[in-house]
Structure 1
Amino acid sequence: MADIVLNVEVREQTGTGAARAVRREGKVPGVLYGGDKDPVAISVAANEFRKALYTGKLLGHLVTLKYGQETQPVIAKAIDMHPVTDEPWHFDLYRVDEHQQIKISVPVHFTNHDASPGLKRGGTLNVVRHEVELSCPADAIPEELVHDLSGLEIGDTIRISSIKLPKGVSPTVDRDFVIATVAGTSAQAAQDAAADADAASAASAASETEG
């Protein structure tokens, strides 16, 4: 089960004015959706919510919602932050069963940049998808998808098939889509063209000498 527990209160009033009143009380307003039940307006103490958020295991993870003696596994799918203070402003939780198959976006990260010959030669990593939507059990959501850049040259393409997914996890898009590419700069392309021309000239000169 989830490590994070959110102690929530049910809000009787909804709307902008009610949300402001909740924030003045030192709480973060939110809404609980999903399942076969109606949406419920809820709130969580701001300090408790910040603590859960800063663990990095709140958004997009299975957590436990607690209301009195009742508990419910939920997924935190959206958290709005204040544009100035960067404090949590509103959140959305979705009801799930612990082993339910769900769809959720997971971030993609890349390792060993220094081990990529293409990047060493001045190429750039062009990330097409920073997140990938996956179908997975609610209690087995991957923290991240990781791809090793070792050995990649300019022109190489990273596709979803290049990333090993955990058992029971699959992309929601049924094709081998591109995650990222190693692209060359125009300066690098000019250098490569010049090097190819020099090599061709050297080969031609050698051939004439042999002739």
Structure 2
Amino acid sequence: MWIGRPLITRTLHLRYFTQSSAAVLLQEPEVPPTYLEGLPKPDPKYAEIIRAIPRVTSGKNISAKERKVGRVPSIVFEQEDGQHGGNKRLISVQNNQIKKLVNHLGRSFFLSRLFDLEVRPDLDSEEVIEKIRVLPRSLHLHAGTDAVLNVTFIRAPSHALLKVEVPLLFRGEDVSPGLKKGAYLNIIKRTVKYLCPADVIPPYIDVDLSEMDVGQKLVMGDLKVHPTLKLIQSKDEPVCKIMGSRVSEQQKKSK
């Protein structure tokens, strides 16, 4: 039980929460990977602790009641292979907190950032039942209002390997030779999927356009990332291309 006070209850709870991650933890490298100079690192400005409370049951009626009182029904999956969750824990988080983080970071950036999650008997309580590190796995928003309907987290112990859709950040448009000639940027991919060690998940990947001319393209294999990241998609899959046809078409129409 989440809120059980007896020592034996707490002991059983901790075992239940960490058992399915044991195989991953046994394979820890001798030297944990760290963020490298020159590559994006998480902004400490958004290093916020997400508060959560235990939730005993699930279902549409329960979820509706949680949302009515300002909470978001959520799940924490135990990390197994970076994609498929193991044992799941039912929790609820604060709607206002999740909404603020998503608005500040953007949806893709929220889903590629690690957070500390504290489970408490009550959201206003100072007692912490358990503190874990998690990665948001999915975020369900209302189609009409963008209200947060539910969030799924996956447990991210140190050295776990997680599949992450890392957002791309395009830079150098102002100095790109092709764009300065009047061409336009055709963005084909806005995220790229990597298998990442939990300790070095990039908040985003820089895409340098500063030397790209008309007709040139960048593929996934061109992206500069931490050497421990494993690209899941094809390295030849295009990310973006500088296109010049729009300029010529506009000139034809103006004649």
Asked if TM exceeds 0.5, the reply is yes
- 1:121–1:71 Cα change, 3 Å: same
- Please say if 1:60 is aligned against 2:112: yes
1:81-100 aligned at under 5 Å gives the runs 81-100=141-160
Query: How far apart in 2 are the matches of 1:190 and 1:55?
Result: 37
2:181 is aligned, of 109, 121, 124, to 121
One-letter code aligned to 2:88: P
- 1:66–1:160 Cα change, 3 Å: same
State the match for 2:79 in structure 1. 35
Contiguous gaps of at least 5 residues in structure 2: 1-41, 81-85, 121-128
RMSD: 2.5
Query: How far apart in 2 are the matches of 1:140 and 1:54?
Result: 24
Q: Quick check: which one's strand share is greater?
A: 1
Cα offset for 1:60? 2.1
Query: How far apart in 1 are the matches of 2:61 and 2:183?
Result: 52
1:76 is aligned, of 136, 139, 162, to 136
Cα offset for 1:190? 10
- Is residue 121–residue 188 contact of structure 1 (8 Å, CA) maintained in 2? no
State the match for 1:200 in structure 2. none
The TM-score normalised by the length of structure 2 is 0.67
1:159-178 aligned at under 5 Å gives the runs 159-178=219-238
- Is residue 122–residue 185 contact of structure 1 (8 Å, CA) maintained in 2? no
Cα offset for 1:16? 1.2
- Please say if 1:20 is aligned against 2:69: no
One-letter code aligned to 1:64: D
- 1:151–1:45 Cα change, 3 Å: closer
Query: How far apart in 1 are the matches of 2:180 and 2:101?
Result: 39
- Is residue 78–residue 91 contact of structure 1 (8 Å, CA) maintained in 2? yes
Q: Which has the larger radius of gyration?
A: 1
Contiguous gaps of at least 5 residues in structure 1: 192-211
- 1:55–1:139 Cα change, 3 Å: farther
1:124-203 aligned at under 5 Å gives the runs 124-185=184-245, 187-188=247-248
1:60-117 Cα offsets, whole Å, 9 max, x none, are 2221222232122211111122233322221001122122121101111211212122
Runs of 4+ deviating beyond 6 Å = none
Select between 117-126 and 18-27 the one with higher mean Cα deviation. 117-126
State the match for 2:36 in structure 1. none
- 1:130–1:157 Cα change, 3 Å: same
Query: How far apart in 1 are the matches of 2:64 and 2:97?
Result: 18
Cα offset for 1:155? 0.8
Cα offset for 1:27? 0.7
Cα offset for 1:55? 4.4
Cα offset for 1:186? 5.4
Matched residue SS, 1:39: strand
Query: How far apart in 1 are the matches of 2:218 and 2:182?
Result: 18
User: When the two structures are aligned, how many residues end up with a matched partner?
Assistant: 191
Query: How far apart in 2 are the matches of 1:48 and 1:115?
Result: 38
Cα offset for 1:174? 4.8
- 1:152–1:18 Cα change, 3 Å: same
The TM-score normalised by the length of structure 1 is 0.79
Query: How far apart in 1 are the matches of 2:97 and 2:231?
Result: 33
Query: How far apart in 1 are the matches of 2:235 and 2:102?
Result: 34
